[in-house]
């Protein structure tokens, strides 16, 4: 009898573990975050998000900008918005954890850089 109860407890535990591990996307909705380009800076300059979240960059400046992934002005090819005119937007989904540095290819020399931390 004790052996049957023990086996049942293990089965119930495994079922619960599987149920929590396989949550549907509706139960874990991805968030959207906004980064503005204004006065030759990204606002916020650094942002922490979750896996699967989306960043939307919006150019609220009077001049064109880009959002280009990479560090020290060298693209790493993860994303590149191309030149964004005032009022344009660009979005990117982050499917994995990591630290993602980015910059404006037109104004990198002015310090227009940012970072996304995906946890």
* Pairwise CA distance, residues 42 & 61, whole Å: 10
Cis peptide before 113 (omega within 30 of 0): no
Domain covering 31-118: architecture: Sandwich (2.60)
Question: What percent of the chain is modeled with pLDDT above 90?
Answer: 73
- Please indicate, yes or no, whether the overall pTM of this predicted structure exceeds 0.95: no
Which pLDDT value is given to residue 29?
A: 74
What ranges do the domains of the chain cover? 31-118
User: At 26, is the pLDDT very low, low, confident or very high (cuts 50, 70, 90)?
Assistant: very low
| Alpha carbon 63 to its chain's center | 25
Dump pLDDT digits (tens) for 54-103: 999 999 999 999 999 999 899 999 999 999 999 999 999 999 999 999 99
> Please, are residues 51 and 81 in contact by the beta-carbon 8 Å criterion?
no
Q: Name the residue with tokens 């006065």.
A: 39
């Amino acid at each position: 009898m004790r052996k049957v109860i023990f086996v049942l407890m293990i089965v119930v535990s495994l079922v619960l573990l599987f149920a929590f591990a396989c949550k549907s996307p509706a139960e874990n909705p991805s968030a959207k975050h906004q980064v503005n380009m204004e006065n030759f800076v990204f606002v916020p300059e650094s942002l922490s998000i979750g896996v699967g979240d989306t960043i939307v960059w919006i150019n609220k400046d009077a001049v064109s900008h880009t959002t280009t992934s990479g560090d020290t002005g060298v693209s790493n090819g993860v994303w590149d918005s191309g030149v964004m005119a005032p009022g344009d937007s660009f979005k990117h989904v982050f499917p994995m954890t990591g630290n993602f540095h980015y910059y404006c290819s037109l104004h990198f020399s002015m310090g227009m850089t940012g970072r996304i931390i995906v946890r």
